[in-house]
Structure 1
Amino acid sequence: MEIQSPDRLIRLAVDLVNTRTREPEALTSTAELRDFLLGHGEPEPVEVDARDLEQVRAVRERLRPVFEAAPDAATRVLNGVLEEYAVRPYLSDHDGSPWHLHVAEPEASWAEWLAATTALGLATFAAGHGFEALGVCAAADCERVFANAAERRPRRFCTPRCATRTRVATHRARRT
């Protein structure tokens, strides 16, 4: 359970929230949670149980409003999660890993670690880019969230595919 880079933190937060959208639930089993953690750079061993799965889903639901809310409300959410889960940052090189930063208790559960880590990532991203760089896809049939670090390039869609699909639908609607 380590932090490597600011990009990893924001990607972890976005991907976690995007495990539940209109698409089928992506965290339906402990195996899927384990795969999610491994896919985001967590080293073996990654051991999770049903309680971890339930708690991680709860963290995910607490974070979603950060992408939807006005800055004041999003700030309250992040500050609340940080207050509840984060500890004073400290450096560690446990288990032979390179030096890295921790913001959760040494014995934190996966959910506690994800809460502290993703809240720090979102707060850092918002502080550097503004809350307007966080959003929910504008496509009518999509609920995915995104973080857009590009300056002077407002973004309304999670992917070019959603943007194209929406433009095509709008064009076709005008032609009828």
Structure 2
Amino acid sequence: MLFAHDTEAALRGCAALVNTAQTLPTDTDDLQTLDELDAFVQEWQWTGSRAHDAAELEAVRALRPRLRELWAVDTEGAVELVNALLAEADALPQLVRHDGWSWHLHATPPEAPLATRMAVEAAMAMVDVLRADELERLRTCAADDCEDVVVDLSKNRSKRYCDGGCGNRANVAAYRARKAATD
């Protein structure tokens, strides 16, 4: 494990949230309804209070482009964005233990708005990434037809494709090209 468990979970959750947005004409926006937000929150085990309203959905949707910036900026830009996210939320890190998780950091109260908790969780995870000088582990999918973001948590820094099947498609295409060249 490269980072603490909660950091890795937050990085994966942040990437998943960013990847719900439509980035290419062939993409779909996967957070258009409250039901889709509820499913996302449940899948990524977000805790704390929920408003379950259109304003909450819009706040989470509006957060995605800001978080996507973390994959596009250099270290200085990432530090600036992380500091802004933490300052906007008046983040106050505290050790907590709940829902089967061991001690980990939260920097917002459970009743803070969902989008605020998501932003701060991503920022706190990025603190660890930046302190470890591991920003290059944040990438964009290597597939030509994909703009999804990738968090490379592999030991050998080899993850190139998103979790949407792009690696499989690339491998099949390479195999078919090799096969066609030998026929």
Q: Give SS of 1:37's match.
A: helix
Q: Distance in 1 between matches of 2:122 and 2:52?
A: 18
Which letter maps to 1:75? V
- Work out which of the residue numbers 52, 57, 67 in structure 2 matches 1:48: 52
Q: Which moved more, 1:26-35 or 1:121-130?
A: 121-130
Is the alpha carbon distance of 1:79 and 1:157 closer, same or farther for their aligned partners in structure 2, counting shifts above 3 Å?
same
Superposed structure 1 runs of 4+ greater than 6 Å apart: none
Q: TM-score, normalised by structure 2?
A: 0.77
Unpaired runs of 5+ residues, structure 2, are none
**1:93 to 1:66, Cα distance in 2 relative to 1, 3 A:** closer
- 1:1-176 to structure 2, matched below 5 A, reads 5-21=6-22, 22=24, 23-42=27-46, 46-92=50-96, 101-128=105-132, 130-159=134-163, 161-166=165-170, 168=173, 172=177
Unaligned residue ranges in structure 1 (runs of 5+):
none
**Secondary structure of 1:5's match?**
helix
RMSD: 3.2
Moved more, 145-154 or 6-15: 145-154
Give the alignment's TM-score, normalised by structure 1: 0.79
- Number of aligned positions between the proteins: 171
Check whether the contact 1:89–1:103 (CA below 8 A) recurs between aligned residues. Answer: yes
The question of whether the paired residues in 2 share the 8 Å contact of 1:34 and 1:47 is answered with no
Task: State percent identity of aligned pairs.
Answer: 32
